[in-house]
Amino acid sequence: MAVLRPAGDFDTSYEQDMSVIRKRWQWVALLLFLAALFALPAYAPEPAVSLVNRIGIAIIAVQGLNILTGYTGQISLGQAAFMTVGAYISALLVGQAGWSFFLALPVAGLGAGLVGLLFGLPSLRVKGFYLVMATLSAQFIIPWLTRNTFPNLLNGAQGMNVPVPVIKLPVIANTCFLGTTFDPETAVCLYRFATPNEFIYITLVVLIISTVVALNISRSRLGRAFISVRDNDLAAELLGVNLFAYKLRAFFIAAVYAGVAGAMLAHNLRHVNSQTVGLIDSILFMGMLVVGGLGSNLGPIFGATLVTLLEELATVLTPILITLMPDIAGGATAALRPLIFGLALMLFLIFEPRGLAYRWTLIKAAWRLRPYAR
Amino acid sequence: MTPSAQFLEVDNVSLYFGGNAALCDVNFHVEQGEILAIIGPNGAGKTSMLNCISGFYRPQKGRILYKQRDLTKTSTHQIASLGIARTFQNIALYTGLSTLDNLMAARHIHMQQNSLHSMLYWGRAQREEVTHRTYVEEIIDFLEIAHIRKAIVGALSYGLRKRVELGRALALEPELLLLDEPMAGMNVEEKEDMARFILDIHERRGTTIVLIEHDMGLVMDISDRVVVLDFGQKIAAGTPDEVRNDDKVIQAYLGQA
């Protein structure tokens, strides 16, 4: 869709034309929005902040899936399995080896990325439905491995407790800076990301980085190569794109995103086992992507937000339903979450298969054309 | 005939699909800087020939030498960086991208940035995007598609998509341009436009062009030499005038007298 602009609003350089945020007021709006998010613990109740944490982690996982499925067109149901890998790596590194969480987080991402590469190998040979089956195997193999291998290290099906992420700062001039508190035991300044109100800062910072990286991928050489693989793999190869290399790159990046999201989830929940995330989450991420819009940078943000809010709605509705209709309480109300998710997914597939992101561009276009657009 | 004089040499190429011979011991060469047309009735093997040159098919027998390099032993994605670009009979654009991005995607092989630069999009990567954007904009100007620069190509008309596809091939900066029926399904005016573009590309850039086309009048007008295929075999080659009066060619097109 061509971009509609008011008369006389021209770009005078290619940099300007290619920039994502073109106007000063857009920068101001973005910064205000981010400031409002960072200030969230100051005015929002803790359950709401906790919800934002969950949404943020889901967004990161879906952003990875968007690069793989939305841009490169390789459908994968392994995203939650790669989250498990990231979660375990970080749990081991921080919990057992005593690493800092902020060092373990990128390592967890890279580790999950390598596992993702392994499960991306079939993409050279198989496409579509068959690739789904191949990636699905990750969803069974990886949780099984965590349950049944290295019982002393991974503690089998019970899983592990994961420590709280902490920042350690040296004591400068007998005072602790940046909101840290003095810890008499180790004689350093500590900041513990224990509650949602503290963890939110990790979520937001990682989310900003992951969004910027995803955005940069989509507008540069790498992203165009991904999209050419999706839109016409034969033409892409004849135009010099090494199909296999780029499919693997997409799998790697998607799994890195998943690994980071998984590590964050583990430290947020403070516990990880093979059930922390599972097949249902992989399907949920795919659903979020469809609802938000495949192959759009806003898609994961819209989709993960809406679907997580709908799930939350289900949890709110369930006790009400039980009070209203005690006879069907139990079985039917327990099914409310998947029911709402399924309904939302179905309605989107029928009425807006291009997702909320496309709807958003329509709304923006209509706003620019007001009062003439309906 | 010295070996180095050959720009592209198709040497005894045979291609089979199961028991069917799509190409049977086909020999011809392309000289640097010429426009060569491949013609023939439907199913003669013209597109198969082009697919062999562009690396999409691997012939079972024979060699295709491009500047002394055997294309049948080169992996498909490397052929583009040797300077060979093509368009497709059934347009094979990246339908979800804009015209501009389709052309930018073809700059892939000319860009230096690696995946990490792409992710950071800082300094060098951004400057590189601008440099290549400038190059692509020249092609957009040349093909007169500036008005659809930011339109998603999936929504464009057939004639425009054909033109965008030509633009995408040009963005590869090819020395050898393979055009598979660039004027199929066009009206006279569109055909004339396309012929003008092809001649302009040939003159301005000195690009060697191999094209498949069914419009005989047009083929005879713009090509330097013509190769005629029928049932996978080369039945004639030469200047348009020679081919026009060749008995075998007349037979292939009109049937036995």
CA distance A59 to chain B (A): 18
The ipTM is 0.90
What CATH code is assigned to B3-83+174-254?
Answer: 3.40.50.300
Is residue A27 in a domain? no
Residue position matching structure tokens 């654009």: B93
Query: Per residue in A70-86, pLDDT tens?
Result: 999 999 999 999 999 99
Are A203 and A304 in contact, with CB atoms under 8 Å apart?
no
Residues on chain B touching A20 (C-beta within 8 angstroms): none
Cβ atoms of A305 and A358 closer than 8 Å: no
Nearest to A361 by CA among A267, A272, A296: A296
Phi then psi for residue B122, to 5 deg, are: -130, 140
Q: Which domain holds residue A123?
A: 43-369
pLDDT digits (tens, 9 = 90+) for B125-180: 888 899 999 999 999 999 999 999 999 999 999 989 999 999 999 999 999 999 99
B134 and A216 within 8 Å at the Cβ level: the answer is: no
pLDDT band at A3 (very low <50, low <70, confident <90, very high): low
CA atoms within 13 A on the CB side of B38: 31
3-class DSSP assignment, residue A97: coil
Q: Is B76 on the interface with A (CB under 8 A)?
A: yes
The beta-carbon neighbor of B96 closest among A18, A213, A295 is A295
Give residue A315's pLDDT band: very low, low, confident or very high (50, 70, 90).
confident
pLDDT of A334 > 70? The answer is no
Please indicate if any CB of chain B lies within 8 Å of the CB of A18.
yes
Top mean-pLDDT range of A185-199, B110-124, B156-170: B156-170
CB A77 within 8 A of CB A139: yes
Lookup result for tokens 């839109």: A231
B92 contacts on A by Cβ (under 8 Å): 232, 234-235
Contact A235 B120 (CB under 8 A): no
Q: pTM score, two decimals?
A: 0.91
The answer to whether position A35 is within a domain reads no
Measured between alpha carbons, how far is A40 from A53 in angstroms, rounded to an integer?
11
Q: Which residue in chain B has the smallest CA separation from A238?
A: B77
**Residue B82 pLDDT more than 70?**
yes
Least confident of A367-371, B23-27, B28-32: A367-371
A225 in B contact zone (CB under 8 Å)? yes
How far apart are alpha carbons A80 and A62 in whole angstroms? 10
Q: Does A237 touch chain B (CB under 8 A)?
A: yes
Asked if the Cβ–Cβ distance from A217 to B118 is below 8 Å, we say yes
Question: For residue A281, what is the enclosing H or E element?
Answer: helix A279-292
Domain range summary for chain B, segments of one domain joined by +: 3-83+174-254
Q: Which helix (H) or strand (E) holds B119?
A: helix B115-120
Q: What is the DSSP letter of B98?
A: B
| Interface check A228 vs B, CB under 8 A | yes
Q: Coil, helix or strand for B145?
A: coil
CB-nearest partner of A238 from B80, B115, B126: B80
Structural domain includes residue A106: yes
| Strand ordering across the sheet containing B233-238 | B84-86, B176-180, B208-212, B35-39, B225-230, B233-238
Better-predicted residue by pLDDT, A313 or A332: A313
Of B56, B77, B86, the CB nearest to A241: B77
CA distances from B172 to A81, A241, B137, B165, B185 (A): 40, 12, 13, 11, 25
Distance from CA of A65 to the nearest CA of B (A): 16
- Calculated CA dihedral for residues A6, B94, B171, B156, nearest 10 degrees: -50
Q: How confident is the model at residue A168 (pLDDT cuts 50, 70, 90)?
A: confident
User: How much of chain B, in percent, has pLDDT values that exceed 90?
Assistant: 58
Residue A16: inside a domain: no
Weakest-pLDDT range from A47-61, A208-222, A334-348, B48-62: A334-348
Closest approach of B92 to chain A, Cα-based (Å): 6
> What CATH number does residue A154 fall under?
1.10.3470
Largest CA distance in chain B: 70
Q: Name the residue facing A234 among B56, B85, B108 (closest C-beta).
A: B56
Q: β-strands B8-17, B20-30: how paired? A: antiparallel
Contact of B112 with chain A, judged by CB distance below 8 Å, is answered with no
Locate the chain B residue with the closest alpha carbon to A237: B77
Q: Is A16 on the interface with B (CB under 8 A)?
A: no
Q: Which residue of B has its CA nearest to A213?
A: B119
A14 and B CB contact within 8 Å? yes
- Contacts of A365-370 with C-beta under 8 Å, sequence gap 24+, read A365/A1, A365/A4, A368/A4, A368/A5, A368/A6, A369/A4
pLDDT bucket at A332, cuts 50 / 70 / 90: low
For residue A373, the model assigns a pLDDT of: 66
Across the interface, whether the CB atoms of A239 and B129 are under 8 A apart is answered no
Query: CB-based contact (8 Å) between A222 and chain B?
Result: yes
Q: In which residue are the tokens 């400031």 written? A: A35
Say which DSSP state A124 is in: G
Which is higher by pLDDT, A35 or A323? A35
The pLDDT score that the predictor gives to residue B257 is 55
Judged by a CB distance cut-off of 8 A, whether residue A234 touches chain B is yes
pLDDT at A172 over 80: no
Q: With CB atoms and an 8 Å threshold, state whether B111 touches A3.
A: no
Q: What is the pLDDT of residues B185-225, one digit of tens each?
A: 888 898 999 999 999 999 999 999 999 998 888 888 899 99
pLDDT per position as a tens digit, B33-59: 999 999 988 888 899 999 999 999 999
Which positions in chain B touch A295 (Cβ < 8 Å)? Answer: 96
User: Is A22 a member of any domain?
Assistant: no
Helical (H) or strand (E) element with A366: helix A355-369
Beta-carbon pairs below 8 A across chains A and B: 108
Q: Could you tell me if A229 lies within 8 Å of chain B, comparing CB atoms?
A: no
Q: Which residue of A has its CA nearest to B55?
A: A238
Q: Give the rounded percent of residues in chain A with a pLDDT score beyond 90.
A: 60
CA A76 vs CA A123, A133, A196, A283, B37: distances in Å: 10, 8, 30, 9, 45
CB-based contact B121 A216, cutoff 8 Å: yes
Does A371 score more than 90 pLDDT? no
CB contact under 8 A, B56 and A2: no
Work out how many domains chain A is built from and give that number: 1
Question: How confident is the model over A225-235, as pLDDT tens digits?
Answer: 999 999 999 99
Contacts of A71 in chain B (CB under 8 A): none
Q: What is the pLDDT of residue A330?
A: 59
CA distance A20 to A302: 18
Is B231 within 8 Å of chain A by CB? no
Contact A181, A191 (CB under 8 A): yes
Question: Which residue in B has a C-alpha nearest to residue A295's C-alpha?
Answer: B96
pLDDT at residue number A374: 59
Q: What is the pLDDT of residue A329?
A: 57
User: Touching check for A259 and chain B: CB below 8 Å?
Assistant: no
A25 belongs to a structural domain? no
Residue with token string 């049937």: B255
Q: Does B134 touch chain A (CB under 8 A)?
A: yes
Q: Do A238 and B79 touch (CB under 8 A)?
A: yes
Mean pLDDT of the region B108-129: 85
Q: How far is B84 from chain A (nearest CA, A)?
A: 9
